[in-house]
A and B are shown apart, each in its own frame.
Chain A
Amino acid sequence: MRRVTTFAQIIRTCEEENWKLADYFLYQEMDWRQREGEDSSPEAILEKMEINLQVMESAAKEGIGGVQSYSGLTGYDATRLNAYRSEKAPLGKSIYLDAIVNAIAINEVNASMGLICATPTAGSCGVVPGILLAAREHLKLTRRQQLDFLITSGGCGLMIGNLASISGAEGGCQAEIGSASGMAAAALAEAAGGTPQASTNALAIALKGLLGLVCDPVASLVEVPCIKRNATGVVNAIASAEMALAGMQSRIPTDEVISAMHSVGQLMPSALRETALGGLALTPTARRYTRELKQTGKITWKERKGPLPSI
């Protein structure tokens, strides 16, 4: 298989061969594994992805059940959201809310030293599975379609990682939550019946929405604002997929958006790239958390087990 480096080429190949993005990225993976001398059968790849999917499922379940971070700073928000969803949800039940519950749950599990699948990183591990686990209910996806969702996400992530970055230390949070959101948007658009063209438009729209997002972790922990930003990535992805499915097009081509993301990352000062030397990490409260963590190893956040607010 010809190795390509742009989404424009991938779309052309998919249109010529009548492939989905998931087909393209599966064949690309088979090709790579064959060259590496590994088992390159589709079954081997799907089986490996199935393990990742099972880890995502169990992390969502564990998070909704209620977990707290090792530092004590975060936890139980997925439980809170889940109760809100089943008891109140005044804004209506939707794929958005379902996906947010999962995304927060999975990223809380990450902060609690639980088992997760990085997608593409640990700090952004709630976005892709958060949407997948919600979309499979709303779209009635088969198991194979769920694995295809992950293959499309992974393939798009490979493109972003190779043309820009998926590391907060290199490109800020746009490279982590932004990339995750773009990956999920493309996969969601495809799962809902979108063409490769629509999927890559969803990817571009999602990346543009979070372009410039900085990485400013409070007390250097992967908790604040990371966990809630997984929800940001989710809603941005779903909105982008909806726009792309409606036929809206990114006025800047996907490949150019990714290049722009790369250059924004390079222009970003290092204080806003995971060093905790800027942004939220330097607020007075964040400084207090940092001191407390250094002195006692824990951060006290009194309201973490509080009752649900009355509406």
Chain B
Amino acid sequence: MAKFHSIFDIIGPVMIGPSSSHTAGAVRIGLASRAIFGETPENVQITFFGSFAHTYKGHGTDLALIGGLLGLSTANPDIRYAYDLAKETGMKVKIVTSQEKMKHPNTAEVRMTKGSRTVSVTGISTGGGSIDLVEIDGFNVHVHNDNPVILIFHMDRPGVIASVTRVIGQHRLNISQMEVSRKTKGKLALMLIATDGEIPDATLEEIAAVKHIVQIIDLSEIRREPNGTKALMAKGAAQ
């Protein structure tokens, strides 16, 4: 099967250098973390593992990830000034490196705090600027940025999953991947749903109205190429 389909897979993307995996991928992990947290955190602790831990300084992986956390796209030249921008925005950043062996060499864990609220996200940069999220707030997940993905935090009750998939099915959307995980029986659980087409806002609202749904996070926009991330930046700036 062909790996590439469009000439723009070859001539493109437009991105900030120097490395699609160590820079563009890191920006995307930052953007995804920001989308999951829902706002700019007050404190961030970034832990780099593997190749990220060894070479993050030379590749500017720290700047890239902080840039993403501030809502900058993979094509925003201001990423070079991410530390200054973080300071201006009032986001305190701490960088930690870990020698712990991870499954993937390009792994970063982002721990975001505001007030008493803390959320952690672990992402891996799989090459060419693509990312996977492997952990969200203690839940093990497998989010790939190729498909539109929504995350649904819900109470672990019978029937919730069926109610959500019914809404999606009624809107003629096809689910391409689905994962459900929980930490404790009967407590908070996480449902991850990837779809072939993007889920319209109206459908998201309908899902939000389902009983026992706590929060919905739309990660669809993370997958878009830089030319399309302007909307994301505007959305980030508005928050």
**Proximity string of chain A (104-141) to chain B, C-beta cutoff 8 Å, 1 when within and 0 when not:** 00000111111111111111010010000000000000
B221: min CB distance to chain A, Å: 17
Q: Is the CB of A221 within 8 A of B55?
A: yes
Q: Known contacts being A113-B17, A115-B16, is A167 close to B128, with CB within 8 Å?
A: yes
Stretch at the interface among B3-11, B108-116, B201-209: B3-11
Q: Known contacts being A113-B23, A115-B75, is A154 close to B14, with CB within 8 Å?
A: no
B175 at the interface (CB under 8 A from A): no
Contacts of A114 in B (CB 8 A): 16-17, 77
Q: Is the CB of B10 within 8 A of A157?
A: yes
Q: Is the CB of B57 within 8 A of A52?
A: no
Q: Is the CB of A118 within 8 A of B13?
A: yes
Stretch at the interface among B58-66, B140-148, B164-172: B58-66
A49 at the interface (CB under 8 A from B): yes
Q: How far is the CA of A166 from the CA of B9 in the complex (A)?
A: 11
**Proximity string of chain B (25-65) to chain A, C-beta cutoff 8 Å, 1 when within and 0 when not:** 00000000000000000000000000100110111100100
Q: Which of B4, B14, B19, B128 makes the CB contact (< 8 A) with A222?
A: B19
A25 at the interface (CB under 8 A from B): yes
B90 at the interface (CB under 8 A from A): no
Chain A: residues with Cβ within 8 Å of the partner, total of 54
Q: How far is the CA of A163 from the CA of B13 in the complex (A)?
A: 21
Q: Known contacts being A110-B18, A121-B20, A221-B18, is A158 close to B57, with CB within 8 Å?
A: no
Contacts of B7 in A (CB 8 A): 25, 29, 45, 49, 150-151, 154-155, 157-158
Q: Is the CB of A71 within 8 A of B58?
A: yes
Contacts of A123 in B (CB 8 A): 18-19
Q: Known contacts being A220-B51, A220-B55, is A112 close to B10, with CB within 8 Å?
A: no
Contacts of B18 in A (CB 8 A): 69-70, 110-113, 122-123, 221-223
Q: Which of B10, B14, B127 makes the CB contact (< 8 A) with A51?
A: B14
Q: Is the CB of B8 within 8 A of A154?
A: yes
A195 at the interface (CB under 8 A from B): no
Q: How far is the CA of A70 from the CA of B18 in the complex (A)?
A: 9
Q: Is the CB of B12 within 8 A of A118?
A: yes
Q: How far is the CA of A150 from the CA of B10 in the complex (A)?
A: 10
Contacts of B8 in A (CB 8 A): 48-49, 52, 154
Q: Is the CB of B58 within 8 A of A219?
A: yes
Q: How far is the CA of A255 from the CA of B55 in the complex (A)?
A: 37
Contacts of A71 in B (CB 8 A): 57-58
For the A-B complex with A114-B17, A153-B10 known, give 6 more contacts whose Cβ atoms are closer than 8 Å.
Answer: A112-B80, A115-B17, A118-B13, A158-B4, A166-B4, A294-B57
Which 5 A-B pairs give the minimum distances between C-beta atoms?
A: A154-B7, A110-B17, A157-B10, A297-B57, A71-B58
